[in-house]
Amino acid sequence: MQAKIRKILKEAVYGGHPRIVAKKTTKEIFDVFVPERESFGHYSTNVALRLAKSERRDPLKLAQEFVTKIRKNSPAGFFEKIETVPPGFINFWLSPQTLCAELQKILKEKSKCGSSKIGKGKKIQVEFVSANPTGPLTLANGRGGFLGDVISNVLEKTGYKVEREYYVNDTGNQILTFGKSILALAGLIPFEEHFYKGEYLKGWANEHKRFVVKYTTNPLLLGQIAAGDFLKAIKNVLEKKARIRFNRWTSEEADIRSKKFTSKTLAIFERKKLAYKKDGAIWLKTTAFGDDKDRVLITKDGFPTYFLSDAGHYLETKKRGFNGKILILGPDHYGYVKRIQAAAQIVGLKNSEVLITQAIRLIRDGKEIKMSKRRGEFVSFEELVEEVGRDASRFFMLAVAPETHMDFDLKLAKEQSMKNPVYYAQYAYVRAASILKKIKNKNPRLRQGFGGQAKIKITDKNLKLLNTPADVRLMVKIARLPEIIEETARTYRVHEITRYATELAAAFHNFYEKERVLGEEEILAEARAELVLATAIVLKNLFDILGISVPHKM
């Protein structure tokens, strides 16, 4: 809907003002948004305010001129009302005819509702989690996992070909250190401060004493064996417990280093005269791309750094035909963003995005929880999912912008009441499903029209009956699904989907409390029943994108 309004506005703004046309860029100079207050319309724009200064005009008078052109250029019956308000906003109300068309579209498309082709079949890789296989997944790993999973769902729904990738750091110095840590915990070598610690690792060492003793002189191989076991546990948590799926598990050793992508990438850097020697090491001029300092590619001891391996990974992604890549990293990785984007640009993978997720604090009864009952160190992602469930874990983590620190209220997440946002959203679907079930049982003529098969066509005659504030509010809200999904595909701001799900649930709960379906005259009952079905379709689509369950009773 926003795209349709934007198109009408562009014609009104660019079509009648030669000076504005001359200044026009590919980026829009105005916003179309949903006002916070319903009295300000279904949608609003600040276009007159944005242009008033450059046009040397009073913004309110400029807005009034635009409204004249909008009324002239917009499709007949698209808007019910348009008004200007100080200091220069233009507010729009959609007509019943427009809302009817959107409602019918939802009923026709069902599970495809909200789909689009804006991705044009482009191949995009989403790399997320990619936790080192040296221990259990942390809460930050889980937050990035849910984010990457839902971004992938959104991109697939909007026409992209998505590869969900987990990049496994299974070689190099950290795996060597991992193996030495096991030997130290087993009492076979002295413990050093930089070694890995933890009861989980000591437990593995005790359980696999045969391997520990056998590979005392080969800590790298021991580290790789242990890492393989931990990777299996990670896969189990992600795929079976959290329902986070991946298309590809990329091995740093087998897929990047063994296939010479590190040396191929270094050759590109040298050919473009961006690599240089200093203090016995080889460096990359990442400062030329906005980094705060240049970065080491090969240490003075001759070992490739993880940065070079990661750069080789980007080259490998490009060579496999991807148009772009989204990399999701955890807290404390801000310093890594500029360097990896520099590497991506140099190797030719220019459509590269890096998203950073912030830390999570677990809260119970107003107090932060730091200790794990099972491991005595930290609360793992697996423990959280086991305690509050997959749906609550997903919804709560996805409801806050990833770049923002969040407090996860354990008590609220487990509460089976309308105070719990995921329960609140799911209960709206349950209520809608309950109404549709009663319709099937009580009205033989409508029996074939529901349960996924909408056959009763809304006409102008019964549409006019959907005119109460609760009816209209719900119709406007469900019509927003396509724009919410497309906007998320552009911005990756998944928390807007959870917010929309909550707002839609609120609109339906309000409708449920104030309006009747069964018991009304048949013509009104038909129209309201279709509205309930459309709401259920939209909610189910949202739940599928968010990866939460679709309950039929609660």
- The domain locations on the chain are 2-94, 99-118+419-546
Q: What is the pLDDT of residues 462-477, one digit of tens each?
A: 667 889 999 999 999 9
Distance CA 17, CA 327 (A): 42
Q: What is the mean pLDDT of residues 296-307?
A: 94
Helix axes 495-514, 469-478, angle to 10 degrees: 160
Return the structure tokens found at 448: 């074939």
Do the Cβ atoms of 315 and 265 come closer than 8 Å? Answer: yes
Establish whether domains 2-94 and 99-118+419-546 are of one fold: no
Residue 459 has pLDDT above 80, yes or no: no
Distance CA 330, CA 255 (A): 23
Distance CA 130, CA 164 (A): 11
Q: What is the pLDDT of residues 104-136, one digit of tens each?
A: 899 999 999 999 999 999 999 999 999 999 989
Residue 393 has pLDDT above 50, yes or no: yes
Fold of 2-94: Gyrase A; domain 2 (3.30.1360)
Q: What is the pLDDT of residues 130-159, one digit of tens each?
A: 999 998 999 999 999 999 999 999 999 999
Do the Cβ atoms of 312 and 261 come closer than 8 Å? Answer: yes
Helix axes 381-388, 390-398, angle to 10 degrees: 110
Give the mean pLDDT of the chain.
91
Length of the chain: 554
Distance CA 183, CA 169 (A): 20
Domain 99-118+419-546 -> CATH class: mainly alpha
Q: Per-residue confidence at 286, pLDDT binned at 50, 70, 90?
A: very high
Percent helix, strand, coil in the chain, to 5, is: 55, 15, 30
Query: Rounded to two decimals, what is the model's pTM?
Result: 0.92
Print burial letters for 221-234: b (CB count within 10 Å at least 16), e (below 16): ebbbbbbeebbebb
